[in-house]
A and B are shown apart, each in its own frame.
Chain A
């Protein structure tokens, strides 16, 4: 039964990917990518990787689809036809790369096989047998991610931090000498006229944010943790921005605060490590945080997860803000130009229509 579900979901994925390649309308392609991510998330749930599924559903289906749509809104939805020579070259490159990857998977052990290196390596046995006793944390993923592999996770958080800084450097925070006058239609959010959509979606924002806090705090006992909580929180804020416009969202959670939060999360993570050193332990050795080493581990893991959550939520919100503000500037400039054109045309008759 499980195999049948896997096969059906994989067939869905294949056909959606094919449709996304074939379609000439970039709007449909963006929607297809969103569906692709949703089905991947379902596949992750089937594979018992619920925390990965949460991230995929929030980032793949929610955030990245919106980012693609924002980009398309300023570039246009049609693909311009390419010369045939380049298409053949692209096809050849894809076929060679795809064949290499398929060849690589031939050496992989089959799914769930007990002979797989993951299961036979002594370190896996150590993690599964010793970690519940040593850590006292029921969800094995969290101590692995936050304590045994604490350096890796610090590196991942730094990668997220760098991504946020990169987007800010490229398209964020342009302080204009002469800020554009805000066009009245644009001051209101996109959904202001869709009353039903606005009223219903508004009710969904608090549960989403609450759920993000739950996922953040519950990481020790169930699937979840800082990364998942961060992306869910950011997608809740994104829903607010979609409903009421980036102007209002920026007034409620200011970009200046977000910039500080991006750094704060990483600082919390690194700061825990420094405190460990000051207490006489090694970097990120949480056992030094309390008298009882197990309590110290719990405090340390909760604190660094909080740091991860803050950084991830702030970075994703910053990226969405930057994209949306970019589009807003683009649209406002266009509208102002059109208006100036209309004003100029009003002096001559018969051209207003």
Chain B
């Protein structure tokens, strides 16, 4: 039983390490921001998850494995959120994925976004392609909702 656990945990550890190396190559070699981000998030979630599960199997039913699980939970939550925020900021800054019609992304971005972000999106749009007729867009409206945002 313990041999089986050992083998299983080493398989997990090694595959996690392999995945990390692959995704590091991806970050270095892939041509564009979104692809590189994709590669980096594989390391953050799956690579770290495999390594941590391997370590949990090594530790057995102890406090250490519970702590490792907490580390995994934290990584899974924060790194994916960070990647989401990064991608969103890149889009708002006028960097679009290759092979996707920028108009589609822009339409999706500025739809339903009043206030500051709309201004940023419009600015990014102007930077990429100067608008043919600037009067088409309504002027950015300040947001109406005044309640506390944590509610």
Contact = CB atoms under 8 A, between A and B. Distances in A.
Given A188-B115, A200-B81, 14 more contacts: A185-B116, A185-B143, A188-B149, A192-B149, A193-B113, A193-B115, A193-B116, A197-B84, A200-B77, A201-B81, A248-B148, A248-B150, A352-B139, A353-B134
Contacts of A185: 115-116, 142-143
A204 B117 contact: no
Interface in A197-237: 197-198, 200-204
Interface centre among A189, A193, A245, A248 (most CB of B within 10 A): A193
Contacts of B2: none
B146 interface: yes
A30 to B, nearest CB: 16
B142 A184 contact: yes
Interface of A: 183-185, 187-189, 192-194, 196-198, 200-204, 244-245, 248, 352-353
Interface string B128-151: 000000110001001100101110
Nearest to A189: B149
Contacts of A184: 115, 142-143
Nearest to A201: B81
B88 interface: yes
Interface centre among B139, B143, B150 (most CB of A within 10 A): B150
Given A185-B143, A203-B77, A204-B78, A197 B149 contact: no
Contact of B81 (A193, A197, A248): A197
A193 B85 CA distance: 11
A194 B115 contact: no
Interface of B: 77-78, 81, 84-85, 88, 113, 115-117, 134-135, 139, 142-143, 146, 148-150
**What's the dominant secondary structure at chain A's contact region?**
helix
Interface centre among B85, B115, B142, B149 (most CB of A within 10 A): B149
A353 B88 CA distance: 26
A180 to B, nearest CB: 16
Nearest to B143: A184
A248 B149 contact: yes
Contact of B149 (A198, A352, A353): A198
Contacts of A202: 150
Nearest to A197: B85
A200 B116 contact: no
A353 B135 contact: yes
A353 B123 CA distance: 12
A3 to B, nearest CB: 21
B116 A196 contact: no
A25 to B, nearest CB: 14
Contacts of A188: 115, 143, 149
Contacts of B116: 185, 193
B68 to A, nearest CB: 16
Given A184-B142, A353-B134, A244 B77 contact: no
Nearest to B146: A187
A196 B84 contact: yes
A161 to B, nearest CB: 31
Contacts of A203: 77
B37 to A, nearest CB: 15
B64 to A, nearest CB: 14
A256 B41 CA distance: 43
A244 B150 contact: yes
Contacts of A248: 148-150
**10 nearest A-B pairs in the assembled complex, by CB-CB distance:** A184-B142, A353-B134, A200-B81, A185-B116, A193-B117, A192-B149, A197-B85, A196-B84, A185-B115, A244-B149
Contacts of B88: 194
A185 B143 CA distance: 7
A353 B142 CA distance: 18
A204 B77 CA distance: 9
A142 to B, nearest CB: 22
Nearest to A190: B116
Nearest to A185: B116
Contacts of A187: 146
Contacts of B134: 353
Interface centre among A183, A200, A202 (most CB of B within 10 A): A200
A14 B67 CA distance: 32
Nearest to B115: A185
A193 B142 CA distance: 13
